[in-house]
Amino acid sequence: MEARNIILITIDSLRWDTVQYMPTLTSLAEKYFHSSRAYSNGPSTPFSFPSLFNRNYDPLLDPIKIRTPTLTEDLKQSGYKTIGIVASNPYISALSGYQIGFDRFEDYISLGGRDAKFKLWKTFQRFPKIVRNLRELYRWYVKKDITSSSGGQLVVDSFVRQLPAEDDEPFFFWVHFMDTHYPYTPPLDHTDFSLGDIIYLNNFRRERSGRWRDEKSDDIDRLERLYIDSSTWLDKQLSRLIRVLKERDLWNHTDIVITSDHGEAFGEHGFLGHPSHLYEENVRVPLILKMDDIVFRKEEMIELRDVPTTLSPFESYTGKNLKEEMEDSRFIPLRARHAGGRSCMKKGVNLISKPEILEYGIYGIVTERYKLIYDEEGEKVELYDLKEDPREKKDLSQEEVRIKEELLQIFKSFIKAPLNKNL
């Protein structure tokens, strides 16, 4: 069978529930497969992309030294032309080894030679406060460029230029957008906010990132509206990308995956942005699949680790195809029971988070009904019933003791295990 083209579209910081404001994505979600329960394996870029490209839970693993073939390497070995266009994000740039396997790779970061860039980035990562300040300065400095309101437009421009004129060999494109990442800067003709409002709201977000406590602030509502404006602007660029594929008669020969690396918080649990917390607003993501032979069900839990196995032509990750894995114990088996004796959980998704200083870990597991979060600092435990309490407002850790203890037993073995193993 003739190999189909593949396009992986990742949208930084896009919440799963923001798709409803994006007409292009909504149309695709209605026509093709759209997961209602897809999860990132972490709440920020360094904790999600290792699983997306390498089925790896460990964000500290140096991508340049990874021995397991990446998704890109698998596709390249299978005869695909591989092209990466990544809006400026150092965590998934050549600085962090993500150019591996690509014939062409653009990350819009120009700080000198690749070796020098990589060493500089790794050195600064040892000093998280310096990294945060430099990252902030960098974002505002390049506001007129790739991380600005025109970012999505420039990324699509590059995609159109590099799209093969002839369908002589299959291609794999990875296209990453930053338009929904802070700072939120939609074009002034695409928002009701003035330039002064945009500057004020982004400063509000910056000053309170990760530590906001007042969930009633009107500024949070305004900030979320600005975020949605950025999302709808990006949606127009996605529409243009799709239109070009159809005009060049490539649409029917191309599989497309659209997802996000994590969500974005707007005060639901007293935080803004995507700090080291594992609540739904940070780890639940959209996942749209335009492809044949989908083995998922809409309501079934899917994690980003499923994507490389879905797209790879090989079985190099576990020696099994995706359908076999879905039926296997790849998901953590939870042997909890209801009072009536029925199984209350069938499978789970692992979530991992660590603060930048990496002094302690925060781990989680999502099951078909429950989420348990374990914070190593003080051994704090939270348990939520996602069926009855989807907003995670009521901690059941003191009420559902049996379920909590059974899940904690799994955690004890999980935390001791190397994070880059198939758990």
Tell me the CATH number at 268: 3.40.720.10
Mean pLDDT, rounded, for 51-71: 64
Verify that 375 and 278 share a domain, yes or no. no
Q: What's the CA gap between 370 and 43, in Å, rounded?
A: 18
With 0-12 CB in 10 A as exposed, 13-18 as middle and 19+ as buried, what is 379?
exposed
More confident residue, 208 or 102: 102
The band of 167, judged by pLDDT with boundaries at 50, 70 and 90, is low
Q: What's the CA gap between 25 and 228, in Å, rounded?
A: 13
At residue 91's C-alpha, the angle toward residues 98 and 260, to 5°, is: 90
Q: What's the CA gap between 60 and 45, in Å, rounded?
A: 12
Domain for residue 162, yes or no? yes
Verify that 246 and 384 share a domain, yes or no. no
Verify that 183 and 295 share a domain, yes or no. yes
Verify that 279 and 388 share a domain, yes or no. no
DSSP tag of 343: B
Verify that 237 and 121 share a domain, yes or no. yes
Domain for residue 169, yes or no? yes
More confident residue, 176 or 144: 176
Domain for residue 28, yes or no? yes
Residue 376 tokens read as: 């190593």
Domain residues for the domain of 264 are: 5-326
Domain for residue 369, yes or no? yes
The band of 302, judged by pLDDT with boundaries at 50, 70 and 90, is confident
Parallel, antiparallel or unpaired: strands 287-290 and 33-34? antiparallel
Verify that 375 and 299 share a domain, yes or no. no
Verify that 80 and 126 share a domain, yes or no. yes
Mean pLDDT, rounded, for 261-267: 93
DSSP tag of 344: S
Q: What's the CA gap between 295 and 289, in Å, rounded?
A: 11
Residue-by-residue DSSP string for 327-341: HTTTSPP---B-TTS
Q: What's the CA gap between 273 and 229, in Å, rounded?
A: 16
On whether the CB atoms of residues 381 and 374 are closer than 8 A, the answer is: yes
Considering 300, 326, 352, which residue would you say is the last residue of a domain?
Answer: 326
Tell me the CATH number at 354: 3.30.1120
Verify that 221 and 287 share a domain, yes or no. yes
DSSP tag of 29: H
Main-chain dihedrals φ then ψ at residue 350, nearest 5 degrees: -85, 140
Q: What's the CA gap between 290 and 255, in Å, rounded?
A: 5
pLDDT score for 94? 85
pLDDT at position 15 over 70: yes
Count of domains for the chain:
2
Domain for residue 422, yes or no? no
pLDDT digits (tens, 9 = 90+) for 122-136: 555 555 555 555 555
Domain for residue 210, yes or no? yes
Residues above pLDDT 90, as percent of the chain: 40
Mean pLDDT, rounded, for 10-30: 96
Considering 264, 295, 326, which residue would you say is the last residue of a domain?
Answer: 326
pLDDT score for 149? 42
Verify that 374 and 303 share a domain, yes or no. no
Considering 298, 326, 354, which residue would you say is the last residue of a domain?
Answer: 326
pLDDT digits (tens, 9 = 90+) for 308-359: 877 876 554 444 443 444 343 333 222 222 222 222 333 456 666 655 444 5
Verify that 315 and 351 share a domain, yes or no. no
With 0-12 CB in 10 A as exposed, 13-18 as middle and 19+ as buried, what is 79?
exposed
Domain for residue 423, yes or no? no
Main-chain dihedrals φ then ψ at residue 392, nearest 5 degrees: 55, 55
Verify that 212 and 340 share a domain, yes or no. no
pLDDT digits (tens, 9 = 90+) for 383-400: 999 999 999 999 999 999
Q: What's the CA gap between 305 and 53, in Å, rounded?
A: 8
pLDDT score for 122? 52
Mean pLDDT over each residue of the chain, to the nearest integer: 77
Verify that 396 and 379 share a domain, yes or no. yes
Residue 362 CB neighbour total at 10 angstroms: 20
Q: What b/e sequence results for 318-344 when a residue is b if at least 16 CB atoms lie within 10 Å of its CB, and e otherwise?
A: eeeebeebbeeebbbebebeeeeeeeb
Domain for residue 421, yes or no? no
